[in-house]
Structure 1
């Protein structure tokens, strides 16, 4: 007898079982559909694919991490193949980014992104790119077109949403009519405007200063922006000045200024000095010009005269903004917040980088080592894409044999090495943007006593599921009125609008620089390429297989007629206008083969203003990361020769640079209650911030509470401390003045708090916060339980719909470090301990044997959720591990697990 299903069950439960079976079957069917939909978009990585437009066959080898190494006979074929590969792995990311840079996100997501689009359209990134493209070099334009052709060949072969990626299948539910347009060279150029925006300088600091001025006297605001500590934290360039209209590293500082060099924190000889009276390496004694003082093919961009007062360093006037100006500045701040971060977190917290290079005299191989780890937002997928681009035979017409990190959407390699040289970037952070307060009435604005008509243009923003929105963008001679993104100018006496002047709103040559860097073979060619890298201005470190190391500061950096760029300035007077020419490239700091045998950059000051006249900025990072790296290098060099393992250990250093100052102050104040045990954990703490560290958990909680208790009552929300190393310096100085007004809690009545009161409260509040989250057993606290990273998809990962976010986000991961440790995992003290910025990749190049180089990406090569290479590098990254960075044909082929041939 055949048993009927459910016959054994009592009848009331049979219908429940049947319903559960139906649900299970439906779930399995849906899972099967989902698996099919997901896998359908995975790229073909083996076999052969026809790519019309190629002139010859192209081979693409992928290792187990999915990293492609591309081999071709012509440069056009090489970049066409790169476009195809980028599209295979990352087309959704590319498509999303071009909607960001053109102010067209609302075409994808509807009115939810309208403010984002308004902000981008107001600045006009795409329009600047349109002006820039025809001015680029002829070969650059050919390569951009070839790249676009490769992208579009892939796009034509994948016409359906499910063919392209899971994101398109999800988007189809909301916006079923959307179909991506063909890729263009302009899309690639516009992306670099987003890079420039995310790596801009002190624009927010200008607004924060002005908004703080509405609540505090100027002197108290300036306490929050202390001078850079040149005597304890070394700048990048310690020798040289401008002589005969160019920067000359041979020129030493005048004797009266040598005290500024200071000493390193471990007692070793400071960088850039010699103790035996010998001539530093890289200088000459016969009066000849040292290598690299002028890049080949370039000429000085103007002349300057030596003056007793440093040019552009006039103290800037600041008056309390009137009601109209304060409102406009608040609107401008909201407009800046509305710009989507493509490389940075929304609040730009933790944006920075480390890079350093060590000459062969200190290395085990006898050749240089170069390390780089840019600190950007924690995105999924990572902003970087690892790739090798190889001409099978190096010729004048096919000069590329480069391996490194690229941006999907842009041909070439941004950071990496070729067969002769290696280079790395950190954000130089010069002041390249100013906010001008304007007096606007109707369609006119005031300038030098006359009414001038505003420039206007009309922008139409298409909105998915809604009506087209019209935006009227108005500009003065200084730039677009960015406050109008959030509302019209309100009539008022005095200033009532804010214009943005920014170097990236002028056409430039950065795209040309990428290809020039990729093919450079020596220091002169490298400097010539760097001369083209105008925005964003970066610290470039260099090493070559001949044994040379170097540093170059490039970029279009404005010269102001008056002021120092630290405050919004009146636009109507004309006094603060920029001069026509920027600082000439040949006058920007540069050095080759310094005497101490290494160069360190970590967003610290480039050069002391007492030796260098042009104003670069006053808003540097404060040198805690850079000085820690210098100190570690000095320690390691004293032990013996440095190798790649040493460089990696320094990248993983988690030392908190404030601990040695703040912990003694915490230990001095009277304390009672359960916080006493927590404070005791700091007594013998070495300042390291590993995931298992209980002292690190408590110290960072105290730091967060201390900042909030000290400053939140005094400052407007936008200017409150996030916890970076500027606040290290602020607190360090306040600790010496126990009765400073900042210590007083203005919300308490009839009582004036002092330093010790606030420190006591911070200790107690931190204990309460951590014990509420991790329990009362202090010994069981772990920094990794508080400090965690969730890899969040840059487009759909913050949709607010949990099932969709679960498809694309990954984590959390426990991570060590903190914002201003060399292992810079940033978090915002105003919110919590969640990681917002990270070393977005790590790279160590060995110029002694390039195949011994190593790298790691934050996530993986693929942009396809559920692909094996979507986030396979993330667990390795979190543990500080690196992958082999192969570049020679034999090792590339040996490591390959997939081979794809592209044919004409």
Structure 2
């Protein structure tokens, strides 16, 4: 027995030693790709020495003699910290994910190949201005210099993920950066999905009820639309389609999670500082690492600092010493679904206003890891690329004998958006920045500006020119062969909305409606926000003058105007009614929940139970309203639509009829549905968060999920690469923290302001910013998540252009020297 015991001890010891040795070996190889920030490197492609000074937050401050050398060093720094992220963005837009991930990503690659964004980016290189061409080439040179160092210096393949997904890395090209900007446009648009969803719902509901569930902004005049069944007859019955958004690697996020951002500015008259103020927090999906990367560039026109996206040689949102710029999604209706009739006698032809024409066709081969390659036949019409019925639910709205083609501004092969972005970085005044925006194509953005004397907001990006007689005014798929449905170029830049130095002294945007112009000058029918704007107006008008801190306070505000409105309406006939119920009964739990909500101010604080009660109640209420009318289509409505619920509860235009369950004999009232939905919500909370309703926390359900797109679902590794945080805010707060809407974790925070910046031009170096994770994309780096806790707590780091401050607490200084011939 003792002998057996000794052998068991030896085996256990050997196993522990083996596990430790394997872990040490894994750590050794993974840590080899951690960049060294101190040192001097000899590189080809620069004209003079360049310094990359990394401050104590690992923000690179780049100093050199020429702009080209500065862009070179930015490419080098991006590649040092985010090489894997950059290569993944490039692979995504190229439609080449399946080379690494096999059959899992074939459908994603297929859609990207059909859009052909990368070929359009390659063609667009030739139309950039001279300064931008030089910047793109220099930036690519910097990325490639780091790749050469990785290859020559045993740098652990450049990133730990490369050990798991080893594949040759092609040199960076100028077209790669333009393509990533186009991929950003794909991430920010939801017009295609919105058109298809509106068409699908139109097949089930009358126009009156369609205006309830898919409402216009309540301050807009409602535009009467033809019913889709009459517009495009012969549409097949409902058939489920594959979901492109399901994979973490997919750039096709849910339309409910598309672009949402905040930006506002104040003139000197509305500022306590005597100069202008500007705040910006663009909202994108949360990932680890963040899509944002902070950087400072000392250009020939002066220093600029702010948020970049690895792969792009521009500061997208930030400031110089005298100018600040911020971005919000303009929600421009820049996509149309064109229903193209196929020639029944020749499937290679489609109908045009001038008769039958040949499809443009070519083959594209997708290489698939551990599986046979897939050959696609790509087709396009004069309206745009043809998409198969199996994606975007197009099969549900496309009649037999037809296909769907996509018109989209980002498909331009003469896209000068990069030149526009570079010009904005060099601008020295509001007027110069507005002029620089003229060449911007996609994604369409609201550019908010402030210099030391003026503020302004201009929509930049191409606005499609539609015929006033367009059958659906761009809101529904329409026949592409009818001249009135086809695009007629784009509007002149002067037609894009502009506001300069308003009388009230403050401008801002929360993705709310920015213009009342009628179709076809309307910009869009669908705005991104109808709720946050109310809270913003109140905060801005509550003070005669503002400060940097009051702008920060607004940026971090978590009071939900929607929650205040909807909880009051849903509980209108339930507050303090009925006899007291015994403890432990459903009636008592309902009374306790209502008592909590009655004293609540709508603050979506992570430590409170009320936000979770409200959110679960509103979600259950909406589902009960629509499930009987829409059937399986109800699952497409993953988030609460406050305007819809308010229309129902106020019975606007007869919308109260939604409360009656059409399959049941009794006539249900909205009070009945509200009471039943509250019970549904409390059952869900009990099953997921415990029985003590007063002890539940919103933050436990509303956890921010900064997940690694590739390794985030890998056992054990997920504990290393994912960053999870309890957070405040919600779908309709200024500190917008959009929930997933998907079971089993419908309230997880998945889309938020991953960059925040506030700029004070009375004292520019007192400006501040923050990102949601850290600068490094390497999970073993201390800079992988060091900014994340500051972000969660609503704290910031200084945004200074003072070189002495950057050097004072630098974590490293890299000097790039030109190779001596």
1:516 aligns with 2:431: no
Aligned to 1:62: 54
Number of positions where the alignment pairs a residue of Structure 1 with one of Structure 2? 793
Q: Is the 8 A contact 1:357 1:371 kept in 2?
A: yes
**What do residues 314-353 of structure 1 show as CA deviations (whole Å, max 9, x unaligned)?**
856632687964479976x8568789555x7445526300
Instruction: Report the counterpart of residue 318 of structure 1 in structure 2.
Output: 228
Residue 438 of structure 2: which of 528, 531, 535 is its match? 531
Which one of the candidate residues 212, 217, 225 is aligned to 1:223?
212
C-alpha distance 708-829 of structure 1, shift in aligned 2 (>3 A): farther
Question: Match for residue 337 of structure 2?
Answer: 435
**Alpha-carbon distance between aligned partners in 1 of 2:399 and 2:307, rounded to the nearest angstrom:** 52
Secondary structure of the structure 1 residue equivalent to 2:804: helix
Q: 1:138-537 maps to which residues of 2 (within 5 A)?
A: 138-159=130-151, 162-172=156-166, 178-230=167-219, 315=225, 318-319=228-229, 325-326=235-236, 334=243, 341-342=250-251, 345-349=253-257, 351-391=259-299, 398-440=300-342, 441=344, 442-448=347-353, 450-483=355-388, 496-506=402-412, 507-537=414-444
Aligned match of 1:689:
604
What SS class does the counterpart of residue 199 from structure 2 fall into? helix
Question: Could you tell me how far 1:124 is from its partner in structure 2?
Answer: 0.6
* Secondary structure of 2:561 counterpart: coil
Matched, 1:542 2:449: yes
Contact conserved, 1:38 with 1:865, CA < 8 A, in 2?
Answer: no
1-structure distance, mates of 2:720, 2:591: 45
> How far apart are 1:128 and its partner, in Å?
0.8
Write the mapping of 1:372-771 to structure 2, written as runs, cut at 5 A: 372-391=280-299, 398-440=300-342, 441=344, 442-448=347-353, 450-483=355-388, 496-506=402-412, 507-545=414-452, 547-561=453-467, 562=470, 563-580=472-489, 582-609=490-517, 614-637=521-544, 641-670=545-574, 672-715=587-630, 717=632, 720=635, 722=637, 727-737=641-651, 740-746=656-662, 748-771=663-686
> Would you say the 8 A contact 1:349–1:722 is kept in 2?
no
Q: Partner residue of 1:123?
A: 115
Deviations 1:571-629 (A, max 9, x none): 2323211113x12111211121111111010110111236x971211101243112211
Matches of 2:248 and 2:12, distance apart in 1: 47
After superposition, give the CA deviation of every residue in 1:626-662 in whole Å (9 maximum; x if it has no partner): 221121011133xxx4222211111111111223322
8 Å Cα contact 2:706/2:750 also seen in 1 = no
Q: CA–CA distance in 2 between the matches of 1:628 and 1:868?
A: 37
Residue 463 of structure 1 and its aligned partner are, at CA, apart by 1.4
Task: Tell me how far apart the structure 2 counterparts of residues 533 and 739 of structure 1 sit (CA, whole Å).
Answer: 41
> For residue 303 of structure 1, what is the aligned residue in structure 2?
none
- Deviation of the 1:550 alpha carbon: 0.8
CA displacement 1:213-272 (0-9 Å, x = unmatched): 2322333222222231338xxxxxxxxxxxxxxxxxxxxxxxxxxxx9xxxxxxxxxxxx
| Alpha-carbon shift at residue 717 of structure 1 (Å) | 4.4
Task: Decide whether aligned partners of structure 1 residues 819 and 368 sit closer, same or farther in structure 2, where only a CA change above 3 A counts.
Answer: same
SS at match of 1:875: helix
2-structure distance, mates of 1:228, 1:557 = 20
| RMSD between superposed Cα atoms in Å | 2.6
CA distance in 2, matches of 1:655, 1:723: 22
Partner of 1:292: none
Mapped to 1, the partners of 2:789 and 2:517 lie a distance apart of: 43
Write the distance in 2 (CA, Å) between the matches of 1:478 and 1:329: 26
Q: Which of 708, 716, 739 does residue 793 from structure 1 map onto?
A: 708
Deviates more, 1:114-123 or 1:344-353: 344-353
- Deviation track 1:431-476 (CA, whole Å, cap 9, x = no partner) reads 0000012222421222348332222111111112222211001122
- For residues 179 and 697 of structure 1, do their structure 2 counterparts lie closer, same or farther at Cα, with a shift above 3 Å needed? same
Residues 325 and 497, structure 1, Cα contact 8 Å, conserved in 2: no
Deviation at 1:828, TM superposition (A): 3.6
1:757-799: per-residue Cα shift (whole Å, max 9, x none)?
21111111111111222222222121111111121112332xx
SS at match of 2:216: coil
The yes-or-no answer on 1:114 pairing with 2:23 is no
- In 2 relative to 1, CA 808–324 (structure 1 residues): closer, same or farther, beyond 3 Å? farther
- Is the contact between residue 349 and residue 826 of structure 1 (CA under 8 Å) also seen in structure 2? yes
- Name the SS for the 1:169 alignment partner: helix
Return 5+ residue gaps in structure 1 as ranges: 1-8, 173-177, 232-259, 261-309, 392-397
Which of 886, 889, 892 matches 2:800? 886
Q: Distance in 2 between matches of 1:593 and 1:518?
A: 21
In structure 1, the residue matched to 2:734 is 822
Deviation at 1:731, TM superposition (A): 0.7
Q: Deviations over 1:396-433 (max 9, x none)?
A: xx335211111111112111111221000000011000
Match of 1:278 in 2: none
Which whole-Å CA distance do the structure 2 matches of 1:642 and 1:413 have between them?
26
Post-superposition shift, 1:484? 5.0
Could you tell me how far apart the structure 2 residues matched to 1:571 and 1:681 are? 55
Q: Which residue of 2 aligns with 1:44?
A: 36
Instruction: Identify the residue that residue 863 of structure 1 maps to in structure 2.
Output: 777
The TM-score, its normalising length taken from structure 2, stands at 0.92
- The 3-state SS of whatever aligns with 1:553 is strand
- Structure 2 distance, partners of 1:720, 1:106, is 29
Q: Distance in 1 between matches of 2:385 and 2:226?
A: 23
Q: 2:268–2:275: 8 Å Cα contact kept in structure 1?
A: yes
2:581 aligns with: none
* Residue 76 (str. 1) matches residue 68 (str. 2): yes
Q: TM-score scaled to structure 1, two decimals?
A: 0.84
**Contact between 1:325 and 1:495, CA under 8 Å: does it hold in 2?**
no
